[in-house]
Structure 1
Amino acid sequence: MQVDDIRIFIPCKNYEQSQRFYKALGFKIEDASNDLCVCTFGECTFFLQRYYNKTFAENLMLQLCVLNIDEAYELISNLNGFNIRFEGIKQEPWGSVIYLWGPSGELWHVTELN
């Protein structure tokens, strides 16, 4: 078996708000069906689904690797109108990270690796 890609399905408490949030982060949004869309940034892709399970969403963690953590922080800190929260840049042994909780409670580790 050869693996080409792994894609996650992210649940949405509010499907339309989540689409706007990810678009504001720079993702291209394309409908796959009435209840599913594909979010793409360069070669990176994931799905948003019109489905919500609180326990799953609030325990979901993802890592978004970026080339410039300061640029990512600038973008994140200027997002308005979304039910999100984030922490400042933290230094870890493996790189710099911003913890960003999306509109459905999903936790993103926005990371610039060493």
Structure 2
Amino acid sequence: MQVEDIKVFIPSLDYDKSISFYNQLGFNCDYVTDDLTLCKNGECYFFIQRFYNQQLAENLMLQICVSDIQEAYALAQKSQYKTKLSEIQNEPWASVFYLWGPAGELLHITQLNNPQLQ
């Protein structure tokens, strides 16, 4: 099997709030159907779905690799729809902070020390 792409479907407790949250983080979100929105930034894409399951949402983790952790952190701080935000932590492999979205999903915002790991 040759995989050409993988996209995650992120649940939303409040569909419009989730779309606004990801817009504030720098994603362009485009209508697909009344229950599905495609969010993109550069060559990276994912879907927001008008579906919520608490157990799924609160166990969903998504790593988002960025080129500038400070810029990403500044955007995250400004978001009115985040539910929680950690400080930036420097790990041996990357700088990372944790951002919880409006449905409880956990985003690992990461600037890798070695971009070849992306």
TM-score normalised by the chain length of structure 1: 0.95
How many angstroms does 1:30 deviate by? 0.9
How many angstroms does 1:84 deviate by? 1.9
Partner of 1:103: 102
> Which segments of 5 or more consecutive residues in structure 2 lack a partner in the other structure?
114-118
Q: Distance in 1 between matches of 2:79 and 2:102?
A: 12
Partner of 2:43: 43
RMSD: 0.9
> Which segments of 5 or more consecutive residues in structure 1 lack a partner in the other structure?
none
* Cα deviations by residue, 1:42-82 (Å, 9 ceiling, x for unpaired): 100000000000000000000000011111111111222x1
How many angstroms does 1:3 deviate by? 1.1
Q: Distance in 2 between matches of 1:11 and 1:97?
A: 23
Q: Distance in 2 between matches of 1:30 and 1:6?
A: 18
Q: Distance in 2 between matches of 1:46 and 1:78?
A: 22
Q: Distance in 2 between matches of 1:107 and 1:15?
A: 17
Alignment map for 1:69-88 (pairs within 5 Å) = 69-80=69-80, 82-88=81-87
Identical counterparts, % of pairs:
52
The alignment covers a number of residue pairs equal to 113
SS in 1 for 2:4: coil
**Aligned partner letter, 1:35:** D
**Aligned partner letter, 1:107:** L
SS in 1 for 2:104: coil
TM-score normalised by the chain length of structure 2: 0.92
